[in-house]
Amino acid sequence: MTISRDQFIVWIKDFAGVIAENKEYLTSLDSAIGDADHGINMDRGFQAVLSKLPAFANQDIGSIAKNIGMVLISTVGGASGPLYGTLFMQIGKETAGKLELTLNDWIAAIESGVNGVMMRGKANIGDKTMLDTLIPTLNTLKECAAHGASIEEALGAAERTAKQGMLATTPLVAKKGRASYLGERSAGTQDPGATSSYYLMKTAAHALSNSA
Amino acid sequence: MKKLINKPEDVVREELEGIAMAHADLVRVCYEPNYIYRADAPVKGKVGVISGGGSGHEPMHGGFVGLGMLDAACPGAVFTSPTPDQMLEATRAVSGGAGVLHIVKNYTGDVLNFEMAADLARADGIEVEAVVTDDDVAVKDSLYTAGRRGVGVTVLAEKITGAAAEQHRPLKDVAEVCRKVNASGRSMGMALTSCIVPQAGKPTFDLPEDEMEIGIGIHGEPGRTRTKLGTAKEITEMLATPILDDLPFKNGDSALAFVNGMGGTPLIELYVVYNELAKICAGRGVKIVRSLVGSYITSLEMAGCSITLLKVDDELVRLWDAPVKTPALRWGV
């Protein structure tokens, strides 16, 4: 059982769709504790990805992911651009030359992406960022693989963990980004970056499952 | 919203076209990705000095491109960080073989985008160093925040660092001068009115007629306190005291005093503030040896001011006095 290139592309398109649907919601979360542009910036970036995707969709998964990362860093701006851009560039580095991914390939790609985001943002779990979704998700994926789970089972478990991680950001006090200037006042709002990262794992669970 | 614009989404592009024509003797403009660069770039054997940030702070940074200051400036959308492709292209354009220094104001977006650009430029074989400015005493600096914001010191750092680069000093030295300026300077600002981001169309925050915001950031971020409007003397005291206490500036220190307008405050008021600042410094035994008064790091049409004090030694004074020829700062040439 593997994840095909076509599924990888469906995942990106699904994620772009969910971002577009939730643009206002993400921006409203960001206006409470940040600078009110997360949904707008992410949507601009992924609309650019959709328009440029046909130009590189027939390359290997690594090249596709790297190209997505480059489009994101040049179109999103703010902090999300470099962070999501790094995530995809690292996924691309890890999957270079591949036309399909095993569960272990997928985990290695996500691990490389998460490590890239941690290094770029100098953040860790508990800082009220996208990493509060991504780090537990990576751990769940690894546990699933250790127990011999299928891709479907692992991605499903990852989606559930991602949701818990996202919800867990609400009571946290932000330690990174513009929200950190609010100190205690940042508690009580769900983190917008953790929310968009949950959408990433949610769409992955649907698009990358049901392998032929 | 009452502004001298055509369409909000065209403001940055049309501003750049205006700059290119108004200052054709000094600078060139590249579009997509957007950056302003010295007409004679790259200068062979000289460290290239680059800065950038959101638009809306003019003349910073584009107005500081030219001899003795910046080699290039990367403007983002209004109050939004530029993207790494801009800094990367600018870095390539001004690389004269001696490396490139990025001067970055401490905002998460700016720092991340510049870091990414530096990584890409290094992969190209260009030696890059970065210095982050973080001089705003209004913001708490701790492990639990993104750290102090980069404000007024950035202007002084760009001038002084540019002068050091003009002497063809090596990259390490030029970066060291920039770090020294950042470490020796402190700032704080205040707002009398809000500002309107063109694409937002409404004021960033509401400030009643009889109130002011002390410790305001250059994007209209809230400051330390909101309080009843005071006199210039009271306001200057509220800004200067935390600055003097923070470094701290000591009896006998020499300083460069910079009174900056936020965009909507006339020069007459800035000189009133300078007069108060000079008295406060004299009272503390801090000797003002150089000064700069005017609107250099602004927040669109916001009324208000910021004060920056930079502790200087002979080296910094010499570099400050060195020739500069840019659209917004010009002396000695």
CA distance B161 to B178: 5
Same domain for B22 and B87?
Answer: yes
**What is the reported pLDDT for B140?**
77
Residue B283 corresponds to which amino acid?
G
- CATH top class, domain A3-207: mainly alpha
CA angle (B109 as vertex; A126, B55 as ends), nearest 5:
155
- CB contact (8 A) between residue B85 and residue A37: no
Same domain for B234 and B273?
Answer: yes
Mean of per-residue pLDDT scores for chain A: 94
pLDDT digits (tens, 9 = 90+) for B200-246: 888 888 899 999 999 999 988 877 889 999 999 999 999 999 999 99
Residue A211 has pLDDT above 60, yes or no: no
**What is the reported pLDDT for B293?**
98
Q: Average of pLDDT values for B32-48?
A: 97
Nearest-CA distance A127 → chain B (Å): 9
Is A72 in the B-facing interface, judged by CB distances under 8 Å?
no
Judged by DSSP in three states, B132 sits in: strand
- CB contact (8 A) between residue A74 and residue B77: no
Same domain for B325 and B203?
Answer: no
Residue B166 has pLDDT above 60, yes or no: yes
What CATH number has the domain bearing residue B268? Answer: 3.30.1180.20
- CB contact (8 A) between residue A177 and residue B143: no
Same domain for B172 and B30?
Answer: yes
pLDDT digits (tens, 9 = 90+) for B56-76: 999 999 999 999 999 999 999
Q: Which pLDDT band, with edges at 50, 70 and 90, does A13 fall under?
A: very high
Q: Which pLDDT band, with edges at 50, 70 and 90, does B325 fall under?
A: very high
Same domain for B131 and B189?
Answer: no
pLDDT digits (tens, 9 = 90+) for B94-122: 999 999 999 999 999 999 999 999 999 99
A179 phi/psi in degrees, rounded to 5 = -60, -25
- CB contact (8 A) between residue B83 and residue A74: yes
pLDDT digits (tens, 9 = 90+) for A142-151: 999 999 999 9
Residue B273 has pLDDT above 50, yes or no: yes
Q: Which residues of A touch B112 (CB under 8 A)?
A: 79, 81-83, 120-121
The pTM score is: 0.89
Is B3 within a domain? no
- By CA distance, what is B143's nearest residue in A? A175
- CB contact (8 A) between residue B83 and residue A37: no
Q: Taking chain B, what is the end-to-end CA distance rounded to the nearest angstrom?
A: 41
Same domain for B230 and B309?
Answer: yes
Same domain for B299 and B325?
Answer: no
In the residue annotation, B57 being an active-site residue is answered as yes
CA distance B181 to B52: 18
What CATH number has the domain bearing residue B135? Answer: 3.40.50.10440
Interface test with A, best of B112, B119, B139, B143 (most A CBs within 10 A): B112
Is B2 within a domain? no
**What is the reported pLDDT for A212?**
40
Domain of B203 in residue numbering reads as 185-313
What own/partner pairs with CB < 8 Å and gap ≥ 24 does A31-34 have?
Answer: A32/A189, A33/A174, A33/A178, A33/A179, A33/A182, A33/A185, A33/A186, A33/A189, A33/A191, A33/A192, A34/A177, A34/A178, A34/A179, A34/A192
Is B1 within a domain? no
In the residue annotation, B168 being an active-site residue is answered as no
Residue B272 has pLDDT above 90, yes or no: yes
Domain ranges of chain A: 3-207
The 10 Å Cβ neighbour count of residue A153 is 14
Q: Average of pLDDT values for A59-74?
A: 96
Same domain for B61 and B134?
Answer: yes
- By CA distance, what is B144's nearest residue in A? A175
